[in-house]
Every structure is written in C-alpha cells, then in structure tokens.
Amino acid sequence: MVLDDEDQQPPKTLSTIAKENSIRSSSKELLNATKLTDEELDHLCSVMLRAKRFEEENRIFQGLLYKYTNVVKGWQYRWFIVHISNSYLEYFLPEDRKIPRGFYNLKNCQIIPSDEDSQTFTIHHITDDREILKLKASDAKDRQIWVDNLRLAVMRNDNVPIRTQLSVVEENHRLIVNMIEDLTNTDEDLLILKANSSAAVQSLERCLTAIEKL
C-alpha cells in the first residue's frame, strides 16, 4: 500500500512564521479580557492551525486488495484508492489504473472487520442497511491500516468546516447576550460573562481570518 502524504511537515517560510505570529498577536485580547493563560492561548492557536491544515490536506491511500465479486468469480485482485479528504473509494484493474471499475461514496458507511478471520473486512451502508463491499487484505496488520484509513475518510465526510462552526459559536454568543440583557437585575458575574464571551468570539474570528491567509 502507498500513503501519499509526507511524513514530515515542510520547513516554515519566513512568511508563514510571520503570519503565525500575527495569529497569536491578534488573539492577545483573550489574555487581557478573559481568564485564559499563556499556555491555554498557545493551545487554542495550535488547535486552530491544526484544524485548518486538516481541512486543507488532500491525501489518498492506495494499494492492492482482494474484492469479493460473487460465488462464481470469488475473490479478485483489485487496485483501490481511498480519497480521504473527499471521502470516496474507487478501484481499478491492477494492470489498468486509468479507468475506474467502481466508485463508492463513503458517506454514511461503516467499516467492519470480520470476526471470522484477520484479513477480511466489509464496507456497510448504514442508511440502507446493506453490505457494499467485501474486501480482504494480505494480513492482519494490512487490514488494520486499510480499516483506519477508510474510517478516516468516513469521518472526513462528517467534518463541519471551521467557518461554519464559528458561525454556531457566534449565534450561541448572541443568545447569551440577549438572555443577559433581558434580565431586569444583572449582577457583576453576568456582565463579566457577557464581556468574556464577546472577547472570545472576536479573538476566534481574528485567529481564523489570519489562519485562512496562510
């Protein structure tokens, strides 16, 4: 099997370093307006950077597997490619990898290792409650690698873009502000909560804007 992804991150350019520094600088208000520590702020920026890179990566995992066709033809060797970032699977004849012989959207799928042996696994469609593919790896280790990458592709399909998640955060912030402002007697703790919520949302927005420019 082949994993088309670099094992190591490329060295950072001066431009990237400068932009990452701007991310942290723009989020400094979190330290001043909230109770976040330096360590927590570093962790926040690090998580957002990793999430952004995760969204942008375009990995594929590929290799040979046995595909069960039917009782007559049995198992046949095929070349499979898992498009992890786009959440789909395709396969080819081993000797001709130009024209796909099959294409599968991995949305709403479940990857299930067989209990009968250490090599077989199936791709099961949850919504239709049906088996899509029955596959066999060369050994237990190879099966686990395939299962892990296929499950990652399934998970990628369920990922919500960071910008969408931030919109949800902003909406929750507005709800908090409205509830506090509707109260007739507002104590100091609620006013602090309102201020902290506003500062946090603004800082997250600035962090994400800076990250999107990387």
Burial class of residue 175, CB neighbours in 10 A (0-12, 13-18, 19+): exposed
- Top mean pLDDT of 24-28, 128-132, 142-146, 189-193 is at 142-146
pLDDT in tens, 28-67: 555 555 555 667 666 666 666 666 565 555 578 999 999 9
Distance CA 128, CA 24 (A): 47
Whole-number pLDDT of residue 128: 80
Is 94's pLDDT higher than 50?
yes
Give the domain ranges of the chain: 2-57+160-212, 63-158
End-to-end CA distance of the chain: 32
Q: What is the mean pLDDT of residues 79-103?
A: 90
List 79's β-bridge partners, or say none.
64, 92
Whole-number pLDDT of residue 52: 59
Q: What percent of the chain has pLDDT over 90?
A: 28
Tokens 């592709």 -> residue: 153
Tokens of 92: 């080819």
Q: What are the CA-CA distances from residue 176 to residues 20, 169, 170, 197 (Å)?
A: 31, 11, 10, 8
User: Residue type at 186?
Assistant: T
pTM: 0.51
Is 140's pLDDT higher than 90?
yes
Tokens of 63: 């290799």
Is 9's pLDDT higher than 50?
no
Q: Are 150 and 82 in contact (CB under 8 A)?
A: yes
Is 7's pLDDT higher than 60?
no
Whole-number pLDDT of residue 27: 54
Tokens 């046949």 -> residue: 76
Whole-number pLDDT of residue 35: 55
Query: How does the average pLDDT of the chain come out, rounded?
Result: 78
Distance CA 44, CA 39 (A): 9
pLDDT band for position 152 (cuts 50, 70, 90): confident
Q: What percent of the chain has pLDDT over 70?
A: 67
Closest listed residue to residue 3, CA positions, set 53, 71, 57, 61: 61
pLDDT in tens, 159-202: 556 676 677 778 778 888 888 888 877 788 888 888 888 888 88
The CATH number of the domain covering residues in 63-158: 2.30.29.30
Whole-number pLDDT of residue 25: 58
